[in-house]
């Protein structure tokens, strides 16, 4: 098993499902559809080990008590302490009994939701040519939240804001669909979670995304990166499975000796207290809370596109 360096020590790459070069690539449905495709998906055993790590981490926090920091006080507020204890107990029970605790704080359960999404990708886009699709990442500088702010953040408010911005830039007037998922990364240098979305849309609508630039918080990132990144689809299984991610990593911003500000490329494990706040937040959400659907909808886990593609 290969490893990466972390502020907390050495971690298995299996602790992440979205590293630059994921350790585990699980072929799914290869025999069913005749395609030798590779999905970016952690194995069941890796997800179980992640739940073990989460349980142990929460127990350490709960037994250690308040370390005097603001985030430490937040994690150990009475209602949060009870919630974190319930998460730890539920994860421990699911691991010991090999059951699936239906909560997004469980890596095993989130894996099943990612698998359901991958099945919908196969079913809905199997006959769509890659040239007709675009994947994108949108980073709004106003979507930066301290751990204390994240703990009470309603993601549906962010998606409503994004929907209004799509309307203003003219995207909704263009025929097609758009589907986006919420994700976050923590920067220990600024003590902010930077929330952003990964999504997929048709090529025509993708052109309107660039109109967001320099408006409504979509200026260049502090490290000089573009707030709107649109890519052609070349490997749909890998690119589309990346859109829904179950792990939020830590990526610090650093200043080089020459004075250049940049983000560290390697995705590291969150610090234990930040991870606890993330688990506290994600445990209250469903996958439907983490996605925005425009001219498409989900019936349960089944995606229904209201867009006709040429065949």
Q: For the segment 181-221, what is each residue's pLDDT rounded down to a tens digit? A: 999 999 998 899 999 999 999 999 999 999 998 888 888 77
95-128, pLDDT tens digit by residue? Answer: 999 899 999 999 999 999 999 999 998 888 888 9
The pairing of strands 302-305 and 296-299 is: antiparallel
pTM across the whole model: 0.84
- Write the CB contacts of 147 (distance below 8 Å, at least 6 apart in sequence): 71, 74, 191, 193, 273, 274, 277
How do residues 135-169 score in pLDDT, each as one tens digit?
Answer: 999 999 999 999 999 999 999 999 999 999 999 99
List phi, psi (to 5°) of 108: -65, -45
Alpha carbon distance 107, 111 (integer Å) = 6
Domain boundaries of the chain, sorted by first residue: 3-305
Instruction: Please state, as a whole number, how many other Cβ atoms lie within 10 Å of the Cβ of residue 230.
Output: 17
Structure confidence at residue 67 (pLDDT): 65
Average pLDDT, the chain: 83
Q: How confident is the model at residue 68 (pLDDT cuts 50, 70, 90)?
A: low
State both tokens at 285. 């959400």
8 Å CB contact between 133 and 236: yes
pLDDT at 10: 30
Is 170 a residue whose pLDDT tops 80?
yes
- Distance between CA atoms of 144 and 138, rounded to whole angstroms? 13
SS3 of the chain: helix, strand, coil, percent, to 5: 40, 20, 35
227-263 pLDDT, tens digit each: 899 999 998 889 999 999 999 999 988 877 777 777 7
> Residue 282 has what pLDDT?
97
First-to-last alpha carbon distance for the chain, in angstroms, is 43
Helix ranges, the chain (H) = 30-33, 44-64, 70-75, 78-97, 107-125, 147-150, 155-168, 203-209, 236-241, 272-282
């Amino acid at each position: 098993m290969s490893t990466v360096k972390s502020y907390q020590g050495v971690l298995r790459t299996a602790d992440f499902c979205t590293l630059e070069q994921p350790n585990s690539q699980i072929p799914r449905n290869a025999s069913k559809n005749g395609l030798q495709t590779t999905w970016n998906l952690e194995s069941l055993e890796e997800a179980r080990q992640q739940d073990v790590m989460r349980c142990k981490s929460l127990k350490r926090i709960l037994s250690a008590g308040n370390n005097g920091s603001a985030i430490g006080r937040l994690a150990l507020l009475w209602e949060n302490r009870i919630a974190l204890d319930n998460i730890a107990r539920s994860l421990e029970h699911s691991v010991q009994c090999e059951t699936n605790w239906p909560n997004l704080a469980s890596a095993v359960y989130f894996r099943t939701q990612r698998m359901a999404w991958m099945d919908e990708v196969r079913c809905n886009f199997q006959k769509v040519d890659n040239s007709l699709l675009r994947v994108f990442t949108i980073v709004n500088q106003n979507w930066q939240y301290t751990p204390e702010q994240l703990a009470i953040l309603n993601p549906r408010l962010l998606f409503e804001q994004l929907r209004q911005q799509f309307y203003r830039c003219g995207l909704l007037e263009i025929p097609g669909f758009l589907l986006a998922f919420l994700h976050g990364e923590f920067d220990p240098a600024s003590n902010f979670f930077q929330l952003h979305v990964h999504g997929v849309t048709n090529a025509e609508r993708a052109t309107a995304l660039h109109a967001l630039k320099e408006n409504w918080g979509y200026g260049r990132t502090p490290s000089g990166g573009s707030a709107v990144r649109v890519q052609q689809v070349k490997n749909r299984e890998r690119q589309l499975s990346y859109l829904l991610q179950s792990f939020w990593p830590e990526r610090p911003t650093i200043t080089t000796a020459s004075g250049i500000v940049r983000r560290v490329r390697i995705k590291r494990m969150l610090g234990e207290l930040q991870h606890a706040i993330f688990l506290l937040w994600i445990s209250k959400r469903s996958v439907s809370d983490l996605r925005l659907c425009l001219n498409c909808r989900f019936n349960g886990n089944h995606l229904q596109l209201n867009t006709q593609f040429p065949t």
